[in-house]
Each structure stands twice: as C-alpha cells, then as structure tokens.
Chain A
Amino acid sequence: MVYLPSNVSKLFSSNQELNIVQFLLFFNRTSIKYICVVKYLKMKDAKNLELEAIFQQKIDDDIKIEPNDWMPDAYRKSLIRQISQHAHSEVVGMLPEGNWITRAPNLRRKAVLLAKVQDEAGHGLYLYSAAETLGADREQTIDDLHSGKAKYSSIFNYPTLTWADMGAIGWLVDGAAIMNQVPLCRCSYGPYARAMIRVCKEESFHQRQGFEVINKLAEGTPEQKEMAQDALNRFWWPALMMFGPSDDDSSHTEQSMRWKIKRNTNDELRQMFVDVTVPQAESIGLTVPDPHIKWNEAKDGYDFGPIDWDEFWQVVGGNGPCNKERVDARRKAKEDGKWVVEAAMAFADKRNAKKTA
C-alpha cells in the first residue's frame, strides 16, 4: 500500500474511505490529488459554516464581537466600509463649518464653533482607530477618500453660504447624525459601539449650539429671520437624505440588521427625525420647506413629501456643488502636512537610536 502523510489521511473519516484512496493512489496520482483538494475544501466549508453559526448565535444573544474574535469576511468588510465612511464624514464635515470660524459674529460663537469643529476631528480619530482594529490600514483608508473610492456623507457637499448655515448644520445635520448614531451605540461590534457612545455624548452639545444660533436669528430682525428660514430651506431636504436611500433601494440594510450593525432601517430613522424636528421648527416660527407636511393621526407621525432621489444619487456620485472642493481640500491637507509627519518620525527614530546606542 501507498504511504499517506498524516495530514492527508486525516481528511478521510473511515478506514474504508482511506483504503479506497490508497487503492486509487496506487494506480493514479492525479485523481487522488483532486479528491484530496475537494475533500479539504468541503471540510473548510463545514468548519466555516460551524464558525458562522457560533458567530450568529453570539449576535442573536447580544454578545459583542471584539477585534480578535472570529468573524465572517463579509461582516469585517461591511464594518470597515461603514466605519471608514463614517470617519471620513466627520473629517470632511469640519470643512463647511471651518469656513465660518474666522467670521463668527462674536467671540462666544467663535469659541463654540472652534470647540465643535475640534470635536469632529476627535470623532474622526475614534472612528479611524475602530476601523484599524478590523485590520484596515489607516493611510490606505484615507487615500481611498482622496481617490474618490470611499464615500462620505453627501450633506457636506453643500456650501455654507451664510452664518445661519452654522445654525442649520448644528440643528439639522447633527440632529440627523444623533438619530443615526444613538442606535449604533448598541452595534454588535464592540470598538464601533464604544466609539459611538463617546461621539453621542459630545454630539448633543453640537445640536444645541446650532439650535441656539438659528433660534437667535429667528427671533431677530426680519432680515435675520429670513436668513434663518433660507438656511432651513436649503438644508432640510439634504438632511432627510442623510439617512440614506429608501429601504427598498438600500442594498446593505437587511444584512446589516441581521448582524446588528444597524438597529433601524433608513426610513424608520428618517421618520423619527421628521417627527421630532417639525415641531421644533414651528416653535421658533420657521416653516419646513415641504407643502406635504401633515400630521397623520393613524401612524402617529408626520406625512412628508417625496425626496428627490435623483439629486441624492448625483451628489453621492460626485456631482454635488462642493464634492471636488472638499476632496481637494483633504488631499491638499495630507500633501502639505507630509513633511511634518516625516520629520516627527525621523526625530523619534534618531532619539531612539541614541537611547539604544
């Protein structure tokens, strides 16, 4: 009989099977190689199915997944996509507001805006770290943003034309972000959930300062009130689009919910946002720019008009008013800062060399 190395003989469960294999091997070496490969792949599949079942059980039992735990490749990929997109949104989100730091109407507003923009940088950093725990390379992740391969929230591709936009962004954009992020605090992936808890704690100051800005303008002169209404008009629909495509067109929602990455569908969150925001606008004398807004007793929520999905897909596809400007600004920041990154590393290397010498 032909000798089989133990790692090959292990693949065959019964003696009978092993005898057949040895018999075949005696006559034909190619066919046995083929059998071994098929058998090995089958075993690997079975092992993966078993691991996947254990994984899904953990998810169903609300046990968090941590970086070194086994997870399906698709879960890892899906999380890296979502977390890095989220990180990019925080970082690109600094640009429209940064536009107004030097022109804030007084020192208090300036200090507040500066603190808010600094928070956004921090949120980006928590999230890049969370993506790194999944094996994503940070520099590659950032380069994907710069090459246009990775997306970020389409809301930041709209320009900030007046000071009132700082109010509208804090109130509506951060408000929508909170709606999205609160359920993410219970996300099945530990590092992402923990980052979200930190982010949510800080985000409510962002929303309140924005509402304060818009409220002050709304109770000011007729011109100031008009400025507030104009900002609401321009940011209302893009804010509703922040929740992503409608459930029927959302390719990731179903699987993400099964994995408890997402806890609510896009449309559910959008409805919640409309329900809390419409009365806020009314209470400060502003009007949401949608003639279809109407309280619907039966569903205990507001009906609202159709969203212009054409516009949404255009902006996501890179054709929004500021897409190019935003990515160019990020790319320039990395290129201009490259020498600092290198100099700091060279300095650290030199000092470490001295220490060991």
Chain B
Amino acid sequence: MNKSKGWPLWEVFIRSKQGLNHKHVGSLRASDATMAIKNARDVYTRRAEGISIWVVPSNNITASDPNNEDSLFEPSQTKVYRHPTFYDVPDGISHM
C-alpha cells in the first residue's frame, strides 16, 4: 500500500485531553517524524482537538487479519461466566 515514491505514510494518534488515551485519527505523509508531528498538528488539530500527538510509520503497524476474526476472537465469545450477569445473587444481598 505504501507505493508512493514521495514521503512515507504515518498513522496519527491524538490525546484529546489529559486523562484520556490517544486515539487513531487518520494518516498523513511526511518525510520524517518531526515533520509528521507538525503536519499532524496542522491537519488534525486546527480546533483544539488535542494536547498530545503520536505518529507511527504506517508500515510498522501489524494488524490482525479480518478473515480470521471469528477464530481469533472465539475465546472471548464463548465464556459467558466471565460476565457478572452469569451469576445468581440471592434476593436481599446488596453491594455486589
């Protein structure tokens, strides 16, 4: 996907305010990390959307394969006992 002979592609993550995690907002092209941060500021935070920016070269990201999502996430769907609603709490018991 990274065919352009120009600048490499970067993925941009922004923390919108103190106490929240960085969130992926999109991508952009830049020659190096410093320029990627500056461009990210201009492209993704023109209206006070962020207080912190991460940039990561897109080709350094490894993604799970959507074709395997069923088998990959199967363990998380078959274990109902991991949820509190699985358990019966007798009437009259509170704070649980």
Which A residues contact B (CB, under 8 angstroms)? 66, 68-70, 115, 118-119, 122, 125-126, 129-130, 132-133, 135, 137-139, 191, 194-195, 201-202, 341, 344-345, 347-348, 351-352
Hey, which chain A residues are within 8 Å of B4, CB to CB? 137-139
Interface majority SS (helix, strand, loop, mixed), chain A: helix
Instruction: Give the contacts of B1-15 with A (CB-CB under 8 A).
Output: 1, 3-7, 9
- Nearest B residue (CB) for A68: B66
User: Closest approach, in angstroms, between the C-beta of B60 and any C-beta of chain A?
Assistant: 14
User: Closest approach, in angstroms, between the C-beta of B71 and any C-beta of chain A?
Assistant: 16
Hey, which chain A residues are within 8 Å of B74, CB to CB? none
Mask: chain B, 44-76; 1 = CB below 8 Å from A; 0 = not = 001100000000000000010111000000000
Query: A68-B63, A70-B67, A118-B46 are contacts. A126–B26 as well, Cβ < 8 Å?
Result: yes
Hey, which chain B residues are within 8 Å of A344, CB to CB? 7, 31-32, 35
Other-chain residue from A118, A132, A137, A351 in contact with B27 (beta carbon distance below 8 A): A132
23 residue pairs A–B, Cβ–Cβ below 8 Å? A68-B65, A115-B46, A119-B46, A122-B42, A122-B46, A125-B43, A126-B43, A129-B26, A129-B27, A132-B1, A132-B27, A133-B1, A138-B29, A139-B4, A139-B6, A191-B26, A201-B47, A202-B47, A341-B6, A341-B7, A345-B6, A348-B31, A348-B32
Query: A122-B42, A126-B43 are contacts. A139–B5 as well, Cβ < 8 Å?
Result: yes
Hey, which chain B residues are within 8 Å of A347, CB to CB? 31-32
Interface majority SS (helix, strand, loop, mixed), chain B: loop
Q: How far is the CA of A352 from the CA of B9 in the complex (A)?
A: 16
Number of interface residues of B (CB under 8 A): 22
Q: How far is the CA of A137 from the CA of B2 in the complex (A)?
A: 8
Instruction: Give the contacts of B69-91 with A (CB-CB under 8 A).
Output: none
Other-chain residue from A122, A129, A194, A345 in contact with B31 (beta carbon distance below 8 A): A345
| Extra contacts besides A122-B43, A129-B28, A132-B9 (19): CB < 8 Å | A69-B66, A70-B66, A70-B67, A118-B46, A122-B42, A125-B43, A126-B26, A129-B27, A130-B26, A137-B3, A137-B4, A138-B4, A138-B29, A139-B5, A139-B6, A195-B26, A341-B31, A344-B7, A345-B7
User: Closest approach, in angstroms, between the C-beta of A136 and any C-beta of chain B?
Assistant: 9
Hey, which chain A residues are within 8 Å of B43, CB to CB? 122, 125-126
